Amino acid sequence: ETEVPEDHPRHASLVTRHRIEAGVEKGITSKQGLIAEGRGEAFDYLLGERTLPSADDAARAAAATLLLADRPVISVNGNVAALAPGETVELAEAVGADLEVNLFNHTDERVRRIADHLREHGADDVKGLAGDGEIPGLEHARGVVDADGIEAADVVVVPLEDGDRAAALDAMGKTEIVIDLNPGSRSPRTADVPIVDNLLRAVPNVTAHARDLADASPAELERIAAEFDADAALDAAETAIRGGSFADEAPSDGGAGPA
Protein backbone atom coordinates (compact mmCIF):
# COMPACT_ATOMS: atom_id res chain seq x y z
CA GLU A 1 0.00 0.00 0.00
CA THR A 2 3.01 2.38 0.37
CA GLU A 3 6.57 2.70 -0.94
CA VAL A 4 8.11 2.98 2.54
CA PRO A 5 11.15 0.64 2.69
CA GLU A 6 10.77 -2.06 5.38
CA ASP A 7 14.17 -1.24 6.90
CA HIS A 8 13.47 2.47 7.30
CA PRO A 9 13.98 3.30 11.00
CA ARG A 10 10.64 5.09 11.13
CA HIS A 11 8.81 2.55 8.99
CA ALA A 12 5.79 2.02 11.27
CA SER A 13 5.23 5.73 11.74
CA LEU A 14 5.46 6.46 7.99
CA VAL A 15 3.04 3.65 7.12
CA THR A 16 0.63 5.05 9.70
CA ARG A 17 0.81 8.51 8.12
CA HIS A 18 0.11 7.11 4.69
CA ARG A 19 -2.94 5.23 5.99
CA ILE A 20 -4.37 8.40 7.53
CA GLU A 21 -3.72 10.37 4.33
CA ALA A 22 -5.45 7.65 2.33
CA GLY A 23 -8.34 7.76 4.80
CA VAL A 24 -8.78 11.49 4.20
CA GLU A 25 -8.62 10.93 0.43
CA LYS A 26 -11.29 8.19 0.67
CA GLY A 27 -13.54 10.47 2.72
CA ILE A 28 -13.47 8.31 5.85
CA THR A 29 -11.10 10.39 7.98
CA SER A 30 -11.72 14.05 8.85
CA LYS A 31 -9.10 16.77 8.55
CA GLN A 32 -9.17 17.02 12.34
CA GLY A 33 -8.17 13.36 12.26
CA LEU A 34 -4.87 14.40 10.69
CA ILE A 35 -4.21 16.68 13.64
CA ALA A 36 -5.09 13.94 16.13
CA GLU A 37 -2.67 11.64 14.29
CA GLY A 38 0.15 14.18 14.62
CA ARG A 39 -0.50 14.51 18.33
CA GLY A 40 -0.55 10.75 18.72
CA GLU A 41 2.75 10.35 16.86
CA ALA A 42 4.46 12.79 19.19
CA PHE A 43 3.36 10.83 22.25
CA ASP A 44 4.29 7.52 20.65
CA TYR A 45 7.77 8.89 19.94
CA LEU A 46 8.12 9.89 23.61
CA LEU A 47 6.97 6.42 24.70
CA GLY A 48 9.63 4.82 22.51
CA GLU A 49 7.01 3.43 20.07
CA ARG A 50 6.57 0.33 22.20
CA THR A 51 3.89 -1.25 24.34
CA LEU A 52 4.73 -0.55 27.98
CA PRO A 53 4.21 -3.44 30.43
CA SER A 54 1.49 -1.31 32.07
CA ALA A 55 -0.26 -0.97 28.68
CA ASP A 56 -0.08 -4.72 28.20
CA ASP A 57 -1.70 -5.19 31.64
CA ALA A 58 -4.39 -2.73 30.54
CA ALA A 59 -4.95 -4.67 27.32
CA ARG A 60 -5.42 -7.87 29.32
CA ALA A 61 -7.84 -6.15 31.72
CA ALA A 62 -9.70 -4.76 28.70
CA ALA A 63 -9.99 -8.25 27.20
CA ALA A 64 -11.33 -9.65 30.49
CA THR A 65 -13.80 -6.76 30.82
CA LEU A 66 -15.06 -7.29 27.26
CA LEU A 67 -15.44 -11.05 27.74
CA LEU A 68 -17.51 -10.41 30.89
CA ALA A 69 -19.73 -7.78 29.22
CA ASP A 70 -23.37 -8.39 28.29
CA ARG A 71 -23.53 -5.78 25.51
CA PRO A 72 -20.05 -4.64 24.52
CA VAL A 73 -19.71 -2.08 21.71
CA ILE A 74 -16.57 -0.87 19.93
CA SER A 75 -16.89 2.73 18.77
CA VAL A 76 -15.22 3.37 15.41
CA ASN A 77 -14.21 6.82 14.15
CA GLY A 78 -12.38 7.97 11.03
CA ASN A 79 -8.89 7.40 12.44
CA VAL A 80 -9.71 3.91 13.70
CA ALA A 81 -11.26 2.99 10.34
CA ALA A 82 -8.25 4.26 8.41
CA LEU A 83 -5.58 2.77 10.66
CA ALA A 84 -6.87 -0.61 11.80
CA PRO A 85 -10.14 -1.68 10.12
CA GLY A 86 -9.37 -5.40 9.88
CA GLU A 87 -7.87 -5.53 13.38
CA THR A 88 -10.95 -3.80 14.82
CA VAL A 89 -13.31 -6.26 13.12
CA GLU A 90 -11.22 -9.14 14.50
CA LEU A 91 -11.41 -7.74 18.03
CA ALA A 92 -15.19 -7.43 17.75
CA GLU A 93 -15.40 -11.07 16.69
CA ALA A 94 -13.02 -12.29 19.40
CA VAL A 95 -15.07 -10.72 22.22
CA GLY A 96 -18.55 -10.79 20.68
CA ALA A 97 -18.86 -7.00 20.51
CA ASP A 98 -20.88 -4.85 18.12
CA LEU A 99 -19.18 -2.25 15.95
CA GLU A 100 -20.71 1.22 15.88
CA VAL A 101 -19.50 4.09 13.74
CA ASN A 102 -19.55 7.16 15.95
CA LEU A 103 -18.05 10.41 14.74
CA PHE A 104 -17.18 13.60 16.57
CA ASN A 105 -17.66 15.46 13.29
CA HIS A 106 -20.73 13.56 12.20
CA THR A 107 -22.04 13.38 8.65
CA ASP A 108 -24.30 10.58 7.39
CA GLU A 109 -22.12 10.30 4.31
CA ARG A 110 -18.95 9.66 6.31
CA VAL A 111 -20.76 7.19 8.60
CA ARG A 112 -21.87 5.24 5.50
CA ARG A 113 -18.38 5.25 4.00
CA ILE A 114 -16.84 3.99 7.23
CA ALA A 115 -19.49 1.29 7.58
CA ASP A 116 -18.78 0.16 3.99
CA HIS A 117 -15.05 0.21 4.68
CA LEU A 118 -15.54 -2.00 7.76
CA ARG A 119 -17.69 -4.41 5.74
CA GLU A 120 -14.91 -4.57 3.12
CA HIS A 121 -12.70 -5.68 6.02
CA GLY A 122 -15.03 -8.46 7.11
CA ALA A 123 -17.65 -6.85 9.36
CA ASP A 124 -21.20 -8.26 9.04
CA ASP A 125 -23.29 -5.80 10.90
CA VAL A 126 -22.21 -2.21 11.51
CA LYS A 127 -24.24 0.12 13.70
CA GLY A 128 -24.24 3.90 13.71
CA LEU A 129 -26.61 4.68 10.86
CA ALA A 130 -29.83 4.62 12.89
CA GLY A 131 -28.85 7.53 15.13
CA ASP A 132 -31.99 6.97 17.22
CA GLY A 133 -30.29 7.18 20.61
CA GLU A 134 -28.34 9.82 22.48
CA ILE A 135 -25.60 10.46 24.99
CA PRO A 136 -27.26 12.90 27.42
CA GLY A 137 -25.45 16.13 28.28
CA LEU A 138 -23.83 16.77 24.90
CA GLU A 139 -24.76 19.16 22.15
CA HIS A 140 -27.16 17.21 19.89
CA ALA A 141 -24.81 16.47 16.96
CA ARG A 142 -22.09 15.25 19.34
CA GLY A 143 -24.40 12.96 21.27
CA VAL A 144 -26.08 10.96 18.50
CA VAL A 145 -25.69 7.17 18.90
CA ASP A 146 -27.73 4.08 18.11
CA ALA A 147 -30.36 3.15 20.72
CA ASP A 148 -29.50 -0.55 20.46
CA GLY A 149 -25.76 0.18 20.18
CA ILE A 150 -23.76 2.55 22.38
CA GLU A 151 -26.87 3.77 24.23
CA ALA A 152 -27.67 0.24 25.43
CA ALA A 153 -24.07 -0.95 25.89
CA ASP A 154 -22.64 -1.87 29.27
CA VAL A 155 -19.01 -1.77 28.10
CA VAL A 156 -17.74 0.57 25.36
CA VAL A 157 -14.33 0.67 23.71
CA VAL A 158 -13.62 4.23 22.66
CA PRO A 159 -10.31 4.58 20.87
CA LEU A 160 -9.15 8.20 20.47
CA GLU A 161 -12.29 9.59 22.05
CA ASP A 162 -12.86 13.24 22.78
CA GLY A 163 -12.68 14.16 26.47
CA ASP A 164 -16.21 15.58 26.76
CA ARG A 165 -17.77 12.52 25.19
CA ALA A 166 -15.70 10.18 27.35
CA ALA A 167 -17.00 12.06 30.41
CA ALA A 168 -20.61 11.95 29.17
CA LEU A 169 -20.39 8.18 28.54
CA ASP A 170 -18.95 7.76 32.02
CA ALA A 171 -21.88 9.75 33.45
CA MET A 172 -24.24 7.28 31.71
CA GLY A 173 -22.62 4.55 33.78
CA LYS A 174 -20.74 2.84 30.97
CA THR A 175 -17.61 0.88 31.67
CA GLU A 176 -15.14 2.59 29.35
CA ILE A 177 -12.04 1.20 27.71
CA VAL A 178 -10.07 4.07 26.14
CA ILE A 179 -7.09 3.68 23.82
CA ASP A 180 -5.09 6.92 23.76
CA LEU A 181 -1.36 7.67 23.59
CA ASN A 182 -1.59 10.76 25.78
CA PRO A 183 -1.84 9.73 29.46
CA GLY A 184 -2.68 13.35 30.36
CA SER A 185 -5.69 13.59 28.06
CA ARG A 186 -9.09 13.63 29.75
CA SER A 187 -10.37 10.58 27.89
CA PRO A 188 -7.90 8.04 29.34
CA ARG A 189 -8.23 9.78 32.72
CA THR A 190 -11.97 9.13 32.61
CA ALA A 191 -11.62 5.50 31.55
CA ASP A 192 -12.08 2.46 33.75
CA VAL A 193 -9.40 0.84 31.59
CA PRO A 194 -7.04 3.32 29.90
CA ILE A 195 -4.71 1.68 27.37
CA VAL A 196 -1.88 4.15 26.76
CA ASP A 197 -0.57 2.66 23.55
CA ASN A 198 -0.82 3.11 19.81
CA LEU A 199 -4.15 1.89 18.49
CA LEU A 200 -2.20 -0.15 15.92
CA ARG A 201 -0.51 -2.14 18.68
CA ALA A 202 -3.29 -2.04 21.26
CA VAL A 203 -6.19 -3.43 19.22
CA PRO A 204 -4.42 -6.66 18.13
CA ASN A 205 -2.99 -6.99 21.64
CA VAL A 206 -6.46 -6.92 23.25
CA THR A 207 -7.56 -9.53 20.69
CA ALA A 208 -4.58 -11.74 21.54
CA HIS A 209 -5.40 -11.50 25.27
CA ALA A 210 -9.07 -12.26 24.57
CA ARG A 211 -8.10 -15.41 22.67
CA ASP A 212 -5.76 -16.40 25.47
CA LEU A 213 -8.58 -15.90 28.00
CA ALA A 214 -11.27 -17.61 25.91
CA ASP A 215 -11.50 -20.56 28.33
CA ALA A 216 -11.00 -18.59 31.55
CA SER A 217 -13.77 -18.79 34.15
CA PRO A 218 -15.86 -15.69 34.97
CA ALA A 219 -14.16 -15.63 38.39
CA GLU A 220 -10.73 -15.55 36.74
CA LEU A 221 -11.83 -12.78 34.35
CA GLU A 222 -13.26 -10.79 37.24
CA ARG A 223 -10.00 -11.16 39.15
CA ILE A 224 -7.98 -9.84 36.17
CA ALA A 225 -10.32 -6.86 35.70
CA ALA A 226 -10.37 -6.05 39.44
CA GLU A 227 -6.60 -6.24 39.86
CA PHE A 228 -5.96 -3.69 37.13
CA ASP A 229 -5.08 -0.27 38.58
CA ALA A 230 -5.95 2.53 36.14
CA ASP A 231 -4.15 5.29 38.08
CA ALA A 232 -0.98 3.21 38.32
CA ALA A 233 -1.09 2.53 34.57
CA LEU A 234 -1.46 6.25 33.79
CA ASP A 235 1.40 7.07 36.19
CA ALA A 236 3.63 4.43 34.58
CA ALA A 237 3.02 5.90 31.13
CA GLU A 238 3.70 9.41 32.35
CA THR A 239 6.93 8.27 34.02
CA ALA A 240 8.05 6.63 30.77
CA ILE A 241 7.37 9.84 28.86
CA ARG A 242 9.14 12.01 31.41
CA GLY A 243 12.49 10.34 30.82
CA GLY A 244 12.23 6.59 30.83
CA SER A 245 12.39 5.94 27.12
CA PHE A 246 15.08 8.55 26.47
CA ALA A 247 17.04 7.41 29.50
CA ASP A 248 17.07 3.84 28.12
CA GLU A 249 18.87 5.08 25.05
CA ALA A 250 21.06 7.71 26.71
CA PRO A 251 24.82 7.40 26.16
CA SER A 252 26.66 5.75 29.05
CA ASP A 253 28.36 9.03 30.04
CA GLY A 254 24.85 10.30 30.65
CA GLY A 255 25.65 13.43 28.68
CA ALA A 256 23.06 13.93 25.99
CA GLY A 257 19.61 13.11 27.31
CA PRO A 258 17.12 15.52 28.78
CA ALA A 259 17.81 16.33 32.43
- Nearest alpha carbon to residue 83 among 52, 121, 45: 121
Residue 162 CB contacts under 8 Å (≥ 6 apart), including other chains: 104, 142, 187
8 A C-beta contact, residue 133 and residue 146: yes
DSSP assignment of 21-32, as one string? HHHHHTTSS-HH
> Which of the residues 5 through 34 are near ligand ATP (CB under 6 A)?
none
Please give the single-letter amino acid code of residue 108. D
User: By Cβ distance, which residue is nearest to ligand ATP?
Assistant: 40
Nearer to ligand ATP, 19 or 127 (CB): 19
Site string for Mg ion, 177-216 (x = CB under 5 A): --------x-x-----------------------------
Positive or negative torsion for Cα 73, 185, 191, 38 = positive
Nearer to Mg ion, 175 or 187 (CB): 187
Report residue 56 CA to chain centroid gap. 13
Q: Which residues pair with 175 in a beta bridge?
A: 155
17 annotated binding-site participant: yes
48 counts as binding ligand ATP under rule CB under 6 A: no
18, 26, 39, 121: which one binds ligand ATP (CB under 6 A)? 39
The count of other CB atoms within 10 Å of the CB of residue 143 is 18
8 A C-beta contact, residue 151 and residue 134: yes
Nearer to ligand ATP, 79 or 207 (CB): 79
102 binds, among ligand ATP, Mg ion, none (CB under 5 to 8 A by kind): none
8 A C-beta contact, residue 67 and residue 218: no
Q: To the nearest whole angstrom, how small is the minimum distance from the Cβ of residue 234 to ligand ATP? A: 13
Q: Provide the binding-site residues for ligand ATP, judged by CB under 6 A.
A: 36-37, 39-40, 43, 79, 83, 160, 162-163, 179-182, 185-187, 198-200
Q: Provide the binding-site residues for Mg ion, judged by CB under 5 A.
A: 163, 185, 187
Annotated binding site for ATP: 17, 39, 180-182, 186-187, 198-199
